[in-house]
Amino acid sequence: KQEVTQIPAALSVPEGENLVLNCSFTDSAIYNLQWFRQDPGKGLTSLLLIQSSQREQTSGRLNASLDKSSGRSTLYIAASQPGDSATYLCAVLTTDSWGKFQFGAGTQVVVTP
């Protein structure tokens, strides 16, 4: 069974610093990996989707990398802003999971002004 781990569970950085969020998974037979943002009490917003054949995806200040062989993905957020404060979750879709994603527990990020 696919297990997804996110470390650290919480992170606090001063504004302007780059954020590095880690996601690891145990089964490398993945179809894709997706990063989400969740604000308190709200639903999830899709940030980036990386297909299994891709090494990275970029959108604005966000960059996500994927290394299937080591079972890792990293989300980089450049020049963090207080508005980046949220919980970030990664989710993995394994090839034999019938469309069902496995979620990590998330990293709670606070960016202080």
Partner 1 sequence: SAVISQKPSRDICQRGTSLTIQCQVDSQVTMMFWYRQQPGQSLTLIATANQGSEATYESGFVIDKFPISRPNLTFSTLTVSNMSPEDSSIYLCSGSTGETGELFFGEGSRLTVL
* Residue 70, token pair as written in the block: 């080591």
Q: Does 76 help bind partner 1 (rule: CB under 8 A)? A: no
* Residue 67, token pair as written in the block: 């290394």
Q: Does 98 help bind partner 1 (rule: CB under 8 A)? A: yes
Nearer to partner 1, 13 or 49 (CB): 49
**22-57 exposure pattern, b = at least 16 Cβ within 10 A, e = fewer:** ebbbebeebebbbbbbeeeeeebeebbbbeeeeeeb
Least distance in angstroms from the C-beta of 105 to partner 1: 4
Least distance in angstroms from the C-beta of 8 to partner 1: 15
Nearer to partner 1, 71 or 106 (CB): 106
Residues 33-72 that bind partner 1 (CB under 8 A): 34, 36, 41-46, 49, 51
Nearest to 5 by CA among 23, 27, 29, 30: 23
Is residue 36 a contact partner of residue 47, using CB atoms and an 8 Å limit?
yes
Q: Does 101 help bind partner 1 (rule: CB under 8 A)? A: yes
Binding site for partner 1 (CB under 8 A): 31-32, 34, 36, 41-46, 49, 51, 89, 91, 93, 98-101, 103-106
